[in-house]
């Protein structure tokens, strides 16, 4: 059965302070939304992913509309309306189940996602909850006015999972005003199984929650850096391939594949960060099938290998060293091409150029060199 995910990111999050909606604020080197989104896009068993955005977040629409395997939906007047729009976006997706998650819970674990998916084998709905262990008070005007029995009480968390047709029908029938999707499901008579929640799966609500979330995310973070270097000489031709872009030139670059020196350096940087050797290990030049091959094949393999090993590519920096051709007019397009191949945001890819002041083989115009650095985050 195919399981989809809906991440609700249309809220304004005023209680979190900072002016900017909390999902777009920085957290442990990324944004809150980036952590939540990558958790579900990388989760085994998750197929289609829908991101529900406010119509006012123009920058987010522009950024995420270019991300492969991600569907965008417009947020509604309240959370329930946003979820309904997310459910509508799954029409024709083939999904039979869905997990609905608050974007402001960036510390959700792969284990919790898997547990909710598994619980849907035996129930039409399932959600994580933390048993309340602290004493409960009522209060007024700064003073305790009473106590409440905590027996059988749980603090609700997300992701909340449902059989897709059941939750779609439940939302269509609900009058509105529900605290979460579990309330909507129960109003429709669905049994909701409780999955043990996790204390670290906090929802960022107030300013102090950012510091706690950062401590959680950093405690198990595995940061890797890799570098790559490649050189190709000039030969006959009328263009060069650089970072996936065909750049007109009076000579071409020579190599076993398409001789894309920039893409080769980036690919080796990723392999290096993973301690997985270099392009030659994975695509031996002695193998004739790689003669003249598109270097995007190599780079895409490196990116997929990183994800398989549990890493997210944080950013890429590539420097092309040559006297000619001029790189500046093509740098933005190169960054866009690389971001699409690696399935990361374009603002996480840097392509720039320098000369060697007419020194050495690049200075004499004999070829092009490239240096690249890749930063990977796992945990």
Whole-angstrom CA distances from 64 to 57, 68, 307, 337, 346 are: 11, 9, 19, 15, 10
Whether residue 123 sits in one domain with residue 262: no
Q: Residue 111: which domain range?
A: 3-218
Q: Which of 344, 335, 340, 317 is nearest to 38 (CA)?
A: 344
pTM of the model: 0.66
Q: What is the pLDDT of residues 200-256, one digit of tens each?
A: 999 999 999 999 999 998 887 788 999 999 999 999 999 999 999 999 999 999 998
Whether residue 248 sits in one domain with residue 154: no
Per-residue pLDDT at 233: 96
Q: Categorize the per-residue pLDDT at 42 as very low, low, confident or very high, splitting at 50, 70 and 90.
A: confident
Whether residue 226 sits in one domain with residue 147: no
Whether residue 170 sits in one domain with residue 82: yes
Q: What percent of the chain has pLDDT over 70?
A: 97
Whether residue 207 sits in one domain with residue 227: no
- Residue 292 is given by DSSP the state T
CATH code: domain of residue 90: 3.90.550.10
**Burial classification of residue 278, based on how many CB atoms lie within 10 Å of its CB (0-12 exposed, 13-18 middle, 19 or more buried):** middle
d(CA 108, CA 42): 12
CB 205 within 8 Å of CB 21: no
Whether residue 213 sits in one domain with residue 276: no
d(CA 100, CA 87): 9
With residue 229 as reference, give the H or E element that holds it. Answer: strand 222-235
- Domain end residue (candidates: 193, 218, 243): 218
Q: What is the pLDDT of residues 71-89, one digit of tens each?
A: 999 999 999 999 999 999 9
- Domain end residue (candidates: 218, 239, 266): 218
3-state secondary structure of 314: strand
Average pLDDT, the chain: 94
Number of domain units in the chain: 2
CATH code: domain of residue 331: 3.30.1330.50
Whether residue 327 sits in one domain with residue 304: yes
- Domain end residue (candidates: 188, 203, 218): 218
Whether residue 328 sits in one domain with residue 180: no
Q: What is the pLDDT of residues 168-177, one digit of tens each?
A: 999 999 998 8
**Burial classification of residue 319, based on how many CB atoms lie within 10 Å of its CB (0-12 exposed, 13-18 middle, 19 or more buried):** middle
Whether residue 320 sits in one domain with residue 204: no
Whether residue 67 sits in one domain with residue 141: yes
CB 251 within 8 Å of CB 232: no
Residue appearing with tokens 């020196």: 261
d(CA 105, CA 352): 36
3-state secondary structure of 317: strand
Per-residue pLDDT at 228: 97
d(CA 161, CA 347): 33
> Which whole number is the average pLDDT over 34-40?
93
Q: Categorize the per-residue pLDDT at 125 as very low, low, confident or very high, splitting at 50, 70 and 90.
A: very high
- Alpha helix stretches (DSSP H) within 161-311: 164-173, 181-187, 209-219, 261-273, 279-282, 296-308
> How far is C-alpha 236 from the geometric centre of its chain's CA atoms?
41
Whole-angstrom CA distances from 326 to 155, 241, 329 are: 59, 13, 7
Per-residue pLDDT at 18: 60
Structure-block tokens of residue 68: 């492969």
Whole-angstrom CA distances from 307 to 30, 71, 262, 343 are: 17, 20, 21, 11
Whether residue 150 sits in one domain with residue 242: no
What pairs with residue 319 in β-bridges? 352, 371
- Residue 338 is given by DSSP the state H
Structure-block tokens of residue 261: 């020196």
Q: Which of 319, 325, 317 is nearest to 367 (CA)?
A: 325
Whether residue 288 sits in one domain with residue 202: no
CB 24 within 8 Å of CB 67: no
């Amino acid at each position: 059965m195919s399981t989809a995910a809906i991440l609700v990111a249309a809220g304004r999050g005023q209680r979190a302070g900072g002016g900017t909606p909390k999902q777009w604020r920085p957290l442990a080197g990324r944004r809150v939304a980036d952590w939540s989104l990558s958790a579900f896009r990388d989760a085994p068993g998750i197929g289609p992913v829908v991101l529900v955005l406010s119509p006012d977040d123009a920058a987010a629409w522009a950024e995420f509309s270019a991300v492969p395997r991600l569907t965008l939906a417009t947020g509604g007047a309240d959370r329930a309306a946003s979820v309904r729009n997310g459910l509508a976006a799954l029409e024709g997706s083939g999904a039979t189940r869905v997990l609905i998650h608050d974007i402001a819970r960036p510390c959700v674990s792969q284990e919790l996602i898997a547990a909710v998916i598994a619980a849907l084998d035996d129930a039409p709905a399932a959600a994580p909850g933390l048993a309340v262990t602290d004493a409960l008070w009522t209060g007024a005007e700064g003073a305790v006015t009473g106590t409440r029995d905590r027996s059988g009480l749980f603090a609700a968390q997300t992701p909340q999972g449902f059989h897709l047709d059941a939750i779609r029908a439940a939302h269509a029938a609900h009058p509105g005003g529900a605290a979460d999707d579990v309330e909507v499901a129960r109003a429709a008579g669905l049994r909701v199984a409780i999955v043990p929640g996790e204390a670290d799966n906090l929802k960022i609500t107030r300013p102090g929650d950012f510091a706690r979330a950062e401590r959680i995310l950093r405690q198990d973070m595995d940061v890797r850096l890799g570098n790559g270097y490649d050189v190709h000489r000039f030969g006959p031709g009328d263009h060069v391939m650089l970072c996936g872009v065909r750049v007109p030139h009076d000579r071409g670059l020579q190599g076993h594949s398409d001789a894309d020196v920039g893409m080769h350096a980036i690919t080796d940087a990723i392999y290096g960060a993973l301690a997985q050797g270099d392009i030659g290990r994975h695509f031996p030049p002695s193998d004739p099938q790689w003669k003249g091959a598109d270097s995007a094949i190599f780079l895409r393999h490196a990116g997929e290998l990183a994800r398989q090993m549990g890493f997210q590519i944080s950013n890429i920096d590539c420097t092309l060293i040559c006297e000619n051709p001029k790189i500046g007019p093509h740098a933005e397009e190169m960054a866009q091409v690389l971001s699409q191949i690696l399935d990361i945001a374009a603002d996480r890819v840097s392509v720039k150029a320098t000369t060697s002041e007419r020194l050495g083989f690049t200075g004499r115009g004999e070829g092009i060199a490239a240096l690249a650095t890749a930063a990977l985050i796992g945990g």
